[in-house]
Amino acid sequence: MTTLRALAAVCEQLARTRSRRDLARQVADFLGALDAEEVRPAVRFLLGQAGRGGAVSGQTLWRVLVRLVGEGASADVWTGAVDFGEAVERLLERRETPAELPALGLIEVEERVRALAGPRGAGSRAEKERLLAELFARLTPLEAKYVAKNLIREMRTGAAEGILLDAVALVAGGDRAAVARAHMLEGDLTEVAALALANRGGPLPASALTYFRPLRPMLAHSAESVSEALATFGGRAAVEWKLDGARVQVHRRGDDCRLYSRRLQDLTESLPDVVGELRRGLSAPAAILEGEVIPVDAAGRALPFQELMRRFRRIRDIGRLEREVPVRLHLFDALQAGDEPLIDRPYGERWATLERVRGMLRVVGRVVPPTAAEAEAFSAAALADGFEGVMVKGLDAPYTPGVRGRGWLKVKRATTVDLVIIAADRGYGRRHGWLSNYHLAARDEETGRLEPVGKTFKGLTDAEFRTMTDRLSALAIREEGPTVHVEPRIVVEVLFTDLQRSPTYAAGLALRFARIARIREDKAPADADTVQHLRALFARQQTRGVGGEGEA
């Protein structure tokens, strides 16, 4: 039996390791010693996902732990603590415990964490707190540190998804490309790890697209202009509308039709009107397609993105919501037709297949421009019609699930990035009582850490400030003066003028004149833009002679 104690010791070692190669080797050695049934929970713990479905707020967990240890024991535990997990460890070090707590198995601990998702309705809060108290009473301070990190989804050991892929590749005989391919198609690193361990030392079994198992979406980089993007592909590209909606993946086989969000959540019950449209209009009996759902008014004009969030994940009063917020689906890609997978086919071929199978369904506006001037004209018309911008897609590019490759480039009205709120400052004056100055972070794809890159108090309405204050207060994990540090759950799209070097932030960059454009309810922190992406934007900015030194 592999114990949580053993995993916690590995996590401590990982947190002190800086070499990517050493991180991968340590994880591979640990995974290689596990029994088959322990692989999935171990990978989920390492990625900070053991609390998925049973996550609790840091505020709730802290309240339970203070009661467990004693009200007076929490004084000064935050002083010098680098994160919530370390504060939990320090708090439990002040508890009187038996000389030797029996070690819990990894599988048992995950089962206890998942049980936290069970309580519902009246009395659920008290029951959840009871379960938390029972679990943490049996944990050492070090074990508690990493369970807490999983519960609030803030693992940060340096063993991010990329490191886990490297480690699984070592287990699988060093074939990183095969592991990355399996991850693209399986969509779940825990399953890839289980496959590798079941066939350790040998080749991975081939993975394939499967109906009703959604793929992670292909992602796009940014470009400054349509002409620049077109030149990247040597002129062999299509230009499409960039809709301000929510991306959906459509799986239809026979009468069974389901919709998935970009976060792979099942949206079928929330969007029965779209499902009905697909069943009636799609000419193919089986297909996996991608599209964008936008909210529209009675005249069919696009409404702001936030209106759409009234529909997502709602399963009550659907009939009323269908009338109040009608939506429209525009398709833009085909990933499979019948039994024929398409993701390795060039985008031009995938579009031809989409046209063949879409029947009466809409597709996004699109041209394959012979000249840059015609591409710019299409983009200008899209902006004039109120679209967010355009996508420029290489005709020869395959579909790469979950990868921000160079096959797609987005050109928007203004430069925006998706960032995570990690803290907020208490307001003053008219904003007294609100959390209104938001600390924004980008994801470092090398370490998995969220690195601060700026702050903003601009962009939200008074009503949105109040709602955001309530949401962030529920996610609070600690306070330092006027700053409330929160669990990294909320993603926002941020407009900014340019980037500057920053001696303050570890990322080395800061946004200038940042402003929140919208709250991205459809995105998770893992979908946030990366530090590496910001550095690429900064490099392009430097070639234009914009930006420079700063003190942010």
pLDDT at 550: 42
For residue 242, indicate whether it is catalytic.
Answer: yes
Residue pair 551/509 in contact (Cβ under 8 Å)? The answer is no
Q: How many CA atoms lie within 13 A of 170 on its CB side?
A: 18
Q: d(Cα 144, Cα 135) in Å, to the nearest integer?
A: 9
Give me the catalytic one of 149, 242, 393, 523: 242
Question: Which H or E run includes 425?
Answer: strand 416-426
pLDDT at 54: 63
**Maximum C-alpha span of the chain:** 76
Q: d(Cα 215, Cα 188) in Å, to the nearest integer?
A: 9
Beta-carbon contacts of residue 218 (< 8 Å; ≥ 6 apart): 399, 400, 401, 402, 403, 405, 407, 408
pLDDT at 55: 63
Tens-place pLDDT, residues 306-349: 778 778 767 677 788 888 889 999 999 999 999 999 999 999 99
SS3 210: coil
Say if residue 548's pLDDT is above 60: no
Tens-place pLDDT, residues 398-420: 999 988 878 999 998 777 899 99
Q: Minimal CA–CA distance to 163: which of 29, 36, 37, 22?
A: 22
Measured in whole angstroms, how far is the alpha carbon of residue 362 from the centre of its chain? 28
The whole-number average pLDDT for the span 376-381 is 94
pLDDT at 111: 94
Tens-place pLDDT, residues 249-262: 999 999 999 999 98
Q: Quick one: tokens of 407? A: 């096959």
Mean pLDDT score of the chain? 89
Q: d(Cα 538, Cα 454) in Å, to the nearest integer?
A: 14
Q: d(Cα 83, Cα 65) in Å, to the nearest integer?
A: 16
pLDDT at 309: 75
Q: d(Cα 209, Cα 289) in Å, to the nearest integer?
A: 12
Residue pair 310/522 in contact (Cβ under 8 Å)? The answer is no
The DSSP 8-state label assigned to residue 216 in this structure reads P
pLDDT at 60: 87
In the chain, the amino acid numbered 61 is L
pLDDT at 304: 73
pLDDT at 190: 93
pLDDT at 159: 82
Q: d(Cα 49, Cα 506) in Å, to the nearest integer?
A: 25
Q: What are phi and psi of 543, to 5 degrees?
A: -70, -20
Say if residue 281's pLDDT is above 90: yes
Q: Quick one: tokens of 215? A: 């793929």
User: CATH 2.40.50.140 occupies which residues in the chain?
Assistant: 416-543
Kindly report the three-state secondary structure assignment for every residue of 487-510. Answer: CCCCEEEEECCEEEECCCCCCCEE
Starting at the earlier edge strand, list the strands of the sheet with 404-412: 219-222, 404-412, 389-394, 237-242, 366-367
CATH topology of domain 235-390: D-amino Acid Aminotransferase; Chain A, domain 1 (3.30.470)
Q: d(Cα 288, Cα 258) in Å, to the nearest integer?
A: 10
The whole-number average pLDDT for the span 263-291 is 94
User: Which residues sit opposite 389 in a β-bridge?
Assistant: 242, 412
- Among 53-62, 157-166, 386-395, which stretch is predicted with the lowest mean pLDDT? 53-62
Q: d(Cα 13, Cα 16) in Å, to the nearest integer?
A: 5
Concatenate the DSSP letters of all residues of 352-372 into one string.
HHHHHH-TT--B--EE--SSH
The DSSP 8-state label assigned to residue 3 in this structure reads B
Q: CB 224: neighbour CB atoms within 10 A? A: 15
User: Which residues sit opposite 510 in a β-bridge?
Assistant: 500
Residue pair 167/28 in contact (Cβ under 8 Å)? The answer is yes
User: CATH 3.30.470.30 occupies which residues in the chain?
Assistant: 235-390
pLDDT at 53: 64
Residues in the chain: 552
Residue pair 398/346 in contact (Cβ under 8 Å)? The answer is yes
Q: What is the pTM of this model?
A: 0.75
The whole-number average pLDDT for the span 269-284 is 94
Angle separating helix axes 39-47 and 189-198, nearest 10 degrees? 140
CATH code for the structural domain at 416-543: 2.40.50.140
Residue pair 425/435 in contact (Cβ under 8 Å)? The answer is yes
Tens-place pLDDT, residues 111-170: 999 999 888 888 888 999 999 999 999 999 999 999 999 998 888 787 888 899 999 999
SS3 159: coil
User: Which residues sit opposite 237 in a β-bridge?
Assistant: 394
Q: What percent of the chain has pLDDT over 70?
A: 96
The DSSP 8-state label assigned to residue 304 in this structure reads P
Rg (CA), the chain: 24
